[in-house]
A = this chain, B = another copy of it.
Amino acid sequence: MRELKYAILGLLNQKSMSGYELSAEFESALNEFWSANHSQIYPELKKLTQEGMITYEVAISGHVLQKKIYTITDAGREDFLKWLSRDQPMSSTPKDVFRLRVFFSGELTPEHRRKMFESHLTQHRSRLNYLRQQMQKFNGTPGSASPEMGDYLVLTGAIMREEMTCEWLQKCIELAGG
């Protein structure tokens, strides 16, 4: 499906940047729904260059250190837009180790089970807090045609997901908490 390809093309469509900066984008902007290590990004950039989807210019940081600034080509933009426009059916439910553990949690003692739920609840509450802080970067709701809209919608989605997860974990504690 080449999803990494389109994540990279989408980012380069917003702004030309280096592999290192792309890597940072994956850890910030895309963090709530995608991830990629630099060891995956660099080979993909090489491949995309060979395929004519992107080009690069070498820039110098300081005196010697070279970095490659990648720019999307017309062919790349076309391919990206084609991918974005395709309607894809809902993808199958992602793997979730915690839910797998919960499914089998009848094998644990009630106290142990409770601790497991509480530990996760604490972690998700903290994540929710962080995401709510992130929301402050928007001055109210962006306009429907604003370039910030995509970003706003996925942050909203991430917050709703964490809220739901916290509610679920509370229910788990009530029902099976021991």
List the interface of chain A (C-beta within 8 A of B): 1, 3, 6-7, 10, 13, 29-35, 80-81, 84-85, 87-108, 110, 112, 115-116, 119-120, 123-124, 127, 141, 144-147, 149-154, 156-158, 160-161, 163-164, 167-168, 171-172, 175-178
Contact = CB atoms under 8 A, between A and B. Distances in A.
A50 to B, nearest CB: 23
Nearest to A96: B33
Contact of A90 (B81, B108, B120): B120
Q: Kindly list the 8 A-B residue pairs having the minimum CB-CB distance in the complex, ordered from nearest.
A: A33-B99, A94-B94, A164-B164, A90-B123, A33-B96, A10-B104, A103-B150, A157-B168
Contacts of A33: 93, 95-96, 99-100, 103
A102 B153 contact: yes
A42 to B, nearest CB: 19
28 contacts: A3-B95, A13-B104, A32-B93, A80-B107, A81-B107, A84-B104, A84-B107, A84-B108, A87-B115, A90-B98, A90-B120, A90-B123, A90-B127, A91-B96, A93-B158, A94-B96, A102-B154, A103-B150, A104-B150, A106-B145, A106-B146, A106-B149, A141-B175, A144-B178, A153-B172, A156-B171, A157-B168, A160-B164
